[in-house]
């Protein structure tokens, strides 16, 4: 029996439908949520990501301002730019696209963003609010995972959840969000003993280790919900043959292109799990969606209106 496939695009469209209603309501009050995207230099991948975020703003009726300083910018110059954005009232969210040039102190830049406008959810104040269970802005990928779980009808309360990975961007906030939703949470990492048996106890598995196909099918409890956060580009033919031995069409596509994108979970885990996210097309589409949610949420929080958003995730992401 194959798992139910949890398609990120479908859940993203549900969230966007809710957001359009929230944005329309705010516009009636004369409020247009605004996002400033700072793109330093000419990194092609970063340009693509920022263009996608600006396009999402346009689609949903948000204001966006794309700012493109040269890659010769200094830390002090970028700090001054962030300070200006902190003062602009029409800007509710500030996104500084990473990576930054080597001469720039990324930590100083991210910590300079006003926590009220920290739509990436990376600021220590944002993290502290998450720990305390207070209203605030949550890192986009973990918040997106929670929407997949909620909107797919996954039972979180009382579930045994295993989070594989302890990064500040995914693993740690993911564990906190699950805990706040009353799951019993175990965080695993490279030093975890007998990792397969720890994972086998999980009703919910969140894989975010950054290792292609690491989670084997026999690690998965039959019927478990598996959320694969991994995005790994592979070019190794031997690895591809191992991962797609039971999927000749995918293997053929790999051979045609010479590369493919896989998650941290072996594709054959879909034969054991009850529900699973695909890679690509699972968690990825939710990341930009949650950035949009955070921008709308920031607009409300800055005006004391957080409780006035009953429809969408912006009212419930903590």
DSSP class of residue 215 equals: B
53 is catalytic: yes
Enclosing H/E stretch for 260: strand 260-262
- 212: three-class secondary structure by DSSP: coil
257 is catalytic: no
Which residue in 53, 117, 221, 297 is the catalytic one? 53
Cα distance between residue 252 and residue 234, in whole Å: 14
Angle between helices 124-132 and 171-180 (to 10 degrees): 30
Cα dihedral: 106, 179, 20, 10 (round 10): 100
Picking from 160, 135, 48, 26, the residue whose alpha carbon sits closest to that of residue 97 is 48
65 is catalytic: no
Which residue in 18, 22, 92, 97 is the catalytic one? 97
Cα distance between residue 280 and residue 173, in whole Å: 22
Other Cβ atoms within 10 Å of 22 Cβ, number:
26
Task: Pinpoint the alpha helices (H) of the chain.
Answer: 8-28, 44-60, 75-87, 106-112, 124-132, 140-151, 171-180, 195-200, 237-243, 248-257, 284-302
Which residue in 114, 120, 228, 264 is the catalytic one? 120
Q: Write b or e for each residue in 296-317: b if 16 or more Cβ atoms lie within 10 A of its Cβ, otherwise e.
A: bbbbbbbeebbeebeebbbbbb
| Residue carrying the six token digits 């589409």 | 285
Cα distance between residue 209 and residue 165, in whole Å: 5
Active site members: 53, 97, 120
């Amino acid at each position: 029996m194959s798992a139910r496939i949890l398609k990120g695009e479908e859940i993203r469209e549900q969230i966007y439908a809710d957001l359009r209603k929230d944005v329309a309501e705010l516009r009636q009050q004369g409020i247009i949520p605004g996002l400033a995207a700072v793109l330093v230099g000419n990194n092609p991948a970063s340009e693509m990501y920022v263009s996608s975020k600006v396009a999402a703003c346009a689609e949903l009726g948000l204001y966006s301002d794309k700012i493109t300083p040269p890659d010769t910018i200094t830390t002090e110059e970028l700090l001054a730019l962030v300070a200006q954005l902190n003062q602009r009232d029409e800007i509710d969210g500030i996104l500084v696209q990473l990576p930054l040039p080597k001469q720039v102190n990324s930590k100083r830049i991210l910590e300079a963003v006003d926590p009220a406008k920290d739509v990436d959810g990376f600021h220590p104040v944002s993290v502290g609010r998450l720990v305390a269970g207070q209203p605030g802005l949550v890192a986009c990928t973990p918040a997106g995972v929670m929407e997949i779980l909620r909107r797919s009808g996954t039972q979180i309360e009382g579930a045994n959840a295993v989070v594989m990975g302890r990064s500040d961007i995914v693993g740690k906030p993911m564990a906190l969000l699950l805990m706040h939703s009353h799951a019993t949470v175990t965080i695993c990492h490279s030093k975890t003993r007998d990792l397969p048996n720890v994972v086998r106890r999980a009703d919910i598995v969140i894989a975010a280790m950054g290792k292609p196909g690491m989670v084997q099918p026999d690690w998965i409890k039959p019927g478990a919900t598996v959320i694969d956060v991994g995005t790994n580009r592979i070019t190794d033919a031997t690895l591809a043959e191992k991962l797609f031995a039971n999927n000749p069409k995918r293997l053929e596509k790999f051979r045609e292109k010479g590369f493919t994108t896989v998650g941290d979970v072996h594709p054959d885990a879909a034969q054991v799990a009850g529900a699973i996210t695909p890679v690509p097309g699972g968690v990825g589409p939710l990341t930009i969606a949650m950035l949009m949610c955070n921008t709308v949420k920031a607009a409300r929080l800055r005006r004391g209106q957080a409780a006035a958003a009953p429809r969408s995730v912006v009212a419930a992401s903590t």
